[in-house]
Amino acid sequence: MRRLPRSFYARDPRTVARALLGRVLVSELARTRVSARIVEVEAYRGANDPASHAWRGRTARNAVMFGPAGHAYVYFTYGMHYCFNVVCEREGVAGAVLLRALEPLEGLALLRRRRRVHARERLLRGPGCVGQGLALTLAHDGLDLVTGPLWIADIPPERGGARPASGPRIGIRFARERPWRYWLRGNACVSGPAARRAGDSR
């Protein structure tokens, strides 16, 4: 299956975030293939985005956010969770899209083993659960999605008739008013309470 080209990622993260909704992520990191539809994402920018890890400039942790687009930015947080982003923008400009929730398509048994949860809609719901389900660690930080075993398929988004919705990002302290969280309205795999899965219709 064809992968999204680097040019897809090398744009403003808000544009990439919207364009990612409904597309299929594939992991061939383990022997068993896992694939899942992207249903919820958040865009993070650089110096002009106080909620971004890159707000205060380049550090060891956020270095790949400043690198070429189409790579994975994986970070460790709360002492126990790994979160998965795709790097955007041209090299030297920070930007990324956090994958917050996906709808599992292939590899359900492996996901259930890793997550120790049965319900399909809970396997990849929430950014920490995405990291756990895909078994990501800091070893995957910087992985190239255009050439590596973890990638996003270049096929038209399948949104199941749902109009993409947008609203404020979750769990941040600054820049709360910016509506840079995007999701497929009503999809059961979107994180948070049912009310959050509904939302507006931008």
Chain residues in the site for DNA (CB under 7 A)? 42, 44, 51-54, 56, 59-62, 65, 73, 76-81, 83, 85, 96, 98, 115, 117, 122, 125-130, 169-173, 191
* Torsion 8-14-19-23 (CA) sign: positive
CB closer to DNA out of 41 and 165: 41
Nearest distance, CB of residue 33 and DNA, angstroms: 22
Nearest distance, CB of residue 158 and DNA, angstroms: 23
- The Cα–Cα gap between 120 and 188 comes to 9
Nearest distance, CB of residue 181 and DNA, angstroms: 10
- Name residues whose C-beta falls within 8 Å of residue 81's C-beta, 6 or more positions apart in sequence: 127, 128, 131, 132
DSSP secondary structure string, 82-96? Answer: EEEEEE-SSTTS--E
CB closer to DNA out of 117 and 158: 117
- The Cα–Cα gap between 150 and 131 comes to 13
CB closer to DNA out of 29 and 172: 172
Nearest distance, CB of residue 2 and DNA, angstroms: 26
